[in-house]
Amino acid sequence: MAASGIRGPKELWSAFQWSMKGLRAGWRHEASFRLEACLAVVLVPLGLWLGHGALEKLALVLPAILVLSAELLNSAIEAVVDKVSPEFHELAGRAKDMGSAAVFLLLVLVVLSWALIIGPRWL
């Protein structure tokens, strides 16, 4: 990083590459991430097509992307917990359960967003 704290193109490119490495790792090692990514591949274009106006489109697309982000963070938590404490520990189990709960709540948000926005149009 430059002395002034400003990132240049080289640092930005490196950050992008690390992010792509993380996405590949999520895809390669996490079945839940693969499933949620497939869901996002359907929901994101569909949300952009079915949403009326920018806010509706955002409300339909954003939750699916948030699910993917939370799943990656949950997987990172699980990997660190397993590395630090391979044997069962109550706090390790709690950390994993809380990460899973975060993903679950965002999946509820996906369903709620779609039901509130698209549901009335189908009824």
Q: Provide the pLDDT for residue 121.
A: 84
100 is in an annotated binding site: yes
* Average pLDDT rounded to a whole number, residues 99-106: 97
Q: Is 114 known to sit in a ligand binding site?
A: no
Q: Does 82 appear as a known binding residue?
A: no
Residue 25: both structure tokens together: 């790792």
Q: Enter the pTM of the model.
A: 0.87
The answer to whether the annotation marks 26 as part of a ligand binding site is yes
Contact 30, 71 (CB under 8 A): yes
CATH architecture of 31-122: Orthogonal Bundle (1.10)
Question: Is position 122 annotated in a ligand binding site?
Answer: no
Q: Which H/E stretch holds residue 99?
A: helix 90-117
Structural domain boundaries in the chain: 31-122
Catalytic positions: 71
- Give Cβ neighbours of residue 38 (< 8 Å, ≥ 6 apart): none
pLDDT in tens, 13-66: 999 999 999 999 999 999 999 999 999 999 999 999 999 999 999 999 999 999
Q: Is 123 helix (H, G, I), strand (E, B) or coil?
A: coil
